[in-house]
Amino acid sequence: MSNGGEFPAVLELNVGGVAYTTTLKSLTNHPESLLYAIFTGREPILKDAKNRYFLDRDGVLFRYVLDFLRDGNVVLPDCFRERERLKTEAEKYMLHGLVEAIANESKNRPTGAITVGYRGSFQFGKDGLADVKFRKLSRILICGKVDLCRSVFGETLNESRDPDHGQSERYTSRFFLKHSFLEQAFDMLIEQGFKLAGSCGSGTAGGATTDLKPGVDAEENRWNHYNEFVFVRE
């Protein structure tokens, strides 16, 4: 273990397996913090096999902790999904200013509504309802303001059907997701502070006997339905 008086001006850290290089000044910028206590010798710290100072915390999230130590503020990516975990890290390091910065950053996020829609059915086995396989979604549709949709869904958003690429200050109903996991879409909205405001849906086709296109399963077609969910962030 290392104690006070032994710390160089530039330090190499191992935080949960992720390597960082920073200055002693940055690590001791906040006198109320655990890092200040460690790197002024008031608290012990271990070293790893490469003689780097070792912190048994989340190594990936430490980049944002280090940003705060250097600049006194933190700027999170638009589709950042780990605010609560980062808040926990800030609390563990006793960086009360970072906890407050995360809360303020969340409050400054733009408000608005996003509608999630899907057309679905059920796939059946030979015994019909007695052998339901799984819910089948053909596509999850996303409607709303372009920049808001991008900030929530990030790389999972497919914009290939949208004709006006690059324009963010507008609304569109032509986005859809690259996956078909409805709950994943809901989780991403909730993590970004959205709440379900309303929903609606069509009934199944039931006993409809309309002519089907070749290759369409008649039993599955009976259970086709469409649903929409409106999420709002105020």
3-class DSSP state of 35: helix
Residue 139, both tokens: 């596509």
Residues 6+ apart with CB under 8 A from 19: 12, 13, 52
pLDDT of 166 over the 70 cut: no
pLDDT bin (cut points 50, 70, 90) of residue 195 is very high
Mean pLDDT of all residues in 51-58:
96
3-class DSSP state of 174: strand
Asked if 193 and 233 count as a contact pair (C-beta separation under 8 A), the reply is yes
* DSSP letter (8 states) at residue 198: E
Mean pLDDT of all residues in 170-195:
92
What pLDDT, on the 0 to 100 scale, is given for residue 184?
A: 94
pLDDT bin (cut points 50, 70, 90) of residue 104 is confident
**By mean pLDDT, which of 101-115, 171-185, 196-210 is the weakest?**
196-210
pLDDT of 208 over the 60 cut: no
Nearest to 184 by CA among 152, 208, 161: 152
Residue 97, both tokens: 């200013």
Give the integer Cα–Cα distance in Å for 77 and 74.
10
pLDDT bin (cut points 50, 70, 90) of residue 191 is confident
What average pLDDT is seen over the chain? Answer: 86
pLDDT bin (cut points 50, 70, 90) of residue 142 is very high
What is the chain's Cα-based Rg? 25
pLDDT bin (cut points 50, 70, 90) of residue 133 is low
Of 188 and 2, the one with more pLDDT: 188
pLDDT bin (cut points 50, 70, 90) of residue 90 is very high
pLDDT of 92 over the 90 cut: yes
Give the integer Cα–Cα distance in Å for 227 and 89.
39
Q: How many CA atoms within 13 Å lie on the side-chain side of 108?
A: 10
So what CATH class is 10-107? alpha beta
The residues of the chain that CATH labels 3.30.710.10 are: 10-107
Give the integer Cα–Cα distance in Å for 113 and 195.
9
Mean pLDDT of all residues in 120-146:
73
pLDDT of 128 over the 60 cut: no
Q: What residues pair up with 87 in beta bridges, in sequence order? A: none
What pLDDT, on the 0 to 100 scale, is given for residue 50?
A: 96
Q: Where are the alpha helices (DSSP H) in the chain?
A: 24-27, 34-38, 62-71, 83-92, 96-107, 146-153, 182-191, 218-221
What pLDDT, on the 0 to 100 scale, is given for residue 81?
A: 76
pLDDT bin (cut points 50, 70, 90) of residue 204 is low
Nearest to 135 by CA among 181, 185, 82: 181
What pLDDT, on the 0 to 100 scale, is given for residue 34?
A: 97
